[in-house]
Amino acid sequence: MIRYSEIPHKQAREIVLLKGGPCVWGRCAFCDYIQDNDPDPAACARLNREVLAQVTGKYGALEVINSASVFELPRETLCDIRRVAREKGINRLFFECYWSYRDRLDEIRSFFGLPVVFKCGIETFDGDFRNRVLKKGIVFQSPDEVARYFDSVCLLVGVKGQTREMIDRDIEILQSRFRYGCINLFQNNATPIRRDEALVQWFCEKYQYLQDDPRIDVLLENTDFGVGGKQDAR
C-alpha cells in the first residue's frame, strides 16, 4: 500500500498513512478503512518508522492519517513524528481525531509543541442521517459546538438516502464556520452502504467551484491524496 505522498496544492503538505490500533468507535456503517489497523503496537511502530523516513519537510507541514485517530497511534510513533518534525523543520501538523477525544486535543498540542489542525469526520450535520444511517455515534447540539474543538471537518457526499438539501446545508456550514474542510465523494466498498450516482453528479456540477477554494479539499476518489492505493508491482 502507498503510505507516503505530497499534496502540493491548497494547504501544501506531505501526507503519511500510518498504522495504529483499532478505532475507538469502529462502528461506522460506511467504513471498511478500519481493516488497516493492527492491535500490535510494536509492529505498527516499525512500519510507521519506515514510512516517516520518507518525509522531507519540503512544505513545512505534515498530515498524519491512520485508520482511526491520532490517539490510536503507538506512543513510539508519536515520538517518531515529533522527532521527524524537529529534524525536517516542520512547523504545522494535521491529525484526524474522533469526536469522543475532543476534550483531549490539548494533549497532542502540548506533546508536539506545534500548531495542529485537527480534522473530525462529522460526515454530515444532519443528526438523524449521521447517527441512524451512517452510525457515527456523534451527538452535538449545534455546528458551533463542533467548531469549538475542530479546525476542519470531513463531509461525506453521495450516499443513498442523502438529499440535495442536506448537502447544501452541510456545505454552507462548512464554509461559514470552519477554517478548513475535506469533502469525500463516497465510493462503494465492502459495506452495505451504497453510492447515489445522480447525487454525486449533481454535487460535482453545482460545487465545482470548491476545487478552487484553498481551504477545502474535494476527494473525488478515496486515493486522491496519493495514499491508500496499491504500489505498482514493477
- Supply the CATH number for residue 54's domain: 3.20.20.70
pLDDT > 90? residue 219 = yes
- Residue 135 contacts by C-beta under 8 Å, 6 or more apart in sequence? 27, 28, 29
- Residue numbers of the domain that contains 37: 4-219
Proportion of the chain above pLDDT 90, given as a percent: 93
pLDDT at 232: 62
In a domain, 230, yes or no: no
**pLDDT (tens digit, 9 = 90+) per residue, 49-80?**
999 999 999 999 999 999 899 999 999 999 99
In a domain, 33, yes or no: yes
Element spanning 78, H or E: helix 75-88
pLDDT > 50? residue 234 = no
pTM: 0.94
In a domain, 224, yes or no: no
Average pLDDT rounded to a whole number, residues 40-47 = 97
pLDDT at 222: 86
In a domain, 226, yes or no: no
pLDDT at 126: 98
pLDDT at 35: 78
**pLDDT (tens digit, 9 = 90+) per residue, 193-214?**
999 999 999 999 999 999 999 9
Whole-angstrom CA distances from 211 to 10, 63, 172, 196, 219 are 9, 20, 15, 21, 9
Strands 61-65 and 92-96: parallel
Average pLDDT rounded to a whole number, residues 160-179 = 98
Burial of residue 205, with CB atoms counted within 10 A of its CB: 0-12 exposed, 13-18 middle, 19 or more buried: exposed
pLDDT at 34: 73
**pLDDT (tens digit, 9 = 90+) per residue, 9-36?**
899 999 999 999 999 999 999 998 777 8
pLDDT at 167: 98
Domain count across the chain: 1
In a domain, 110, yes or no: yes
pLDDT at 233: 45
The mean predicted confidence, pLDDT, of the chain is: 96
**pLDDT (tens digit, 9 = 90+) per residue, 84-134?**
999 999 999 999 999 999 999 999 999 999 999 999 999 999 999 999 999
Q: Which amino acid is at 3?
A: R
